[in-house]
Amino acid sequence: MRIINISAISHYEIKSHPLATLQCRIESKSNLVVNAIGKTYKKRLHTPTLIMSSSVKPLKVVVRQLAETFNGPQIRELSYFDFYDDSLIIYGFPPNLPANKEGFKQFIYLLWKAFPDIRIIFEDIIIEGNKVAGRYYLTGTHKGEFVDLRPTDKQFRVNGMTVFSFRDAKVIERWNLVDMMSLKEQLGSQT
């Protein structure tokens, strides 16, 4: 079974999330049958149509699972990076690291080492198409060296915002802003 982006057939007035799971099949090279909301719709495929894998989940669920995995010390190292595509491009992370999945992994491992109990809590999640914007806060205890900060054993809470771009329920781009000034102030940095 394949899933078609519901926006490609929006003129049939199907009211659902753009990445909601639909039952559909391609009858021939030119016909698509979609079962949604208890109705069957047929569409002639005259123009290229976006087809996605059947494992696509609503993006809000994916972001919530991503956060739960990040917050779980027993599971995060095994599966957190599975949420990210190998072609990942990152923005807003330390400039001395590559802006790809490997650089992102290096940064996250540094973060987990410095703040073993770190948690991310999303307060707002806004979805448009394949993009998700999230307003969140981070909490944790400073147990290891991070950037230019030596361990202080102090707790912190800082605000942040991120924008994810998804393809097939995996993050392909991530933009990130975190209040680093507040983090340094809370941890007692003089810089």
Residue 100 above 50 pLDDT? yes
Please say whether the beta carbons of 133 and 126 come within 8 A: yes
Domain tally, the chain: 2
**Is residue 112, in this structure, part of any structural domain at all?**
yes
Q: Identify the residue whose tokens are 């926006």.
A: 7
Among the listed ranges 5-9, 75-79, 104-108, 167-171, which one has the minimum average pLDDT value?
5-9
**Is residue 191, in this structure, part of any structural domain at all?**
no
Question: Which phi and psi angles does 108 have, rounded to 5°?
Answer: -65, -40
pTM of the model: 0.68
Average pLDDT on 118-138 reads: 96
Ranked by mean pLDDT, the top range of 52-56, 76-80, 113-117 is 113-117
Q: How many CB atoms lie within 10 A of CB 146?
A: 18
Residues 68-96: tens digit of each pLDDT: 999 998 899 899 999 999 999 999 988 78
> Is the same domain home to 111 and 158?
yes
d(CA 108, CA 116): 11
pLDDT at 17: 41
Residue 191 above 60 pLDDT? no
> Is the same domain home to 110 and 18?
no
Bridge partners, residue 88, by sequence: none
> Is the same domain home to 30 and 110?
no
User: Mind spelling out the 3-state secondary structure of the chain?
Assistant: CCEECHHHHHHHCCCCCCCCCCEEEEEECCEEEEEECCEEEEEECCCCCCEECCCCCCHHHHHHHHHHHHHCCCCHHHHHHHHEEEEEEEECCCCCCCCEHHHHHHHHHHHHHHCCCCEEEEEEEEEECCEEEEEEEEEEECCCCECCECCCCCEEEEEEEEEEEEECCEEEEEEEEECHHHHHHHCCCCC
Tally of residues, the chain: 191
Average pLDDT on 131-146 reads: 96
Among the listed ranges 16-20, 71-75, 119-123, 152-156, which one has the minimum average pLDDT value?
16-20
**Domain limits for position 14:** 3-52
Chain centroid offset of residue 70 CA: 11
Q: Of 36, 52, 68, which residue sits at a domain end?
A: 52
> Is the same domain home to 113 and 27?
no
- CATH assignment at residue 106: 3.10.450.50
> Is the same domain home to 21 and 107?
no
Query: Average model confidence (pLDDT) for the chain?
Result: 79
pLDDT at 40: 54
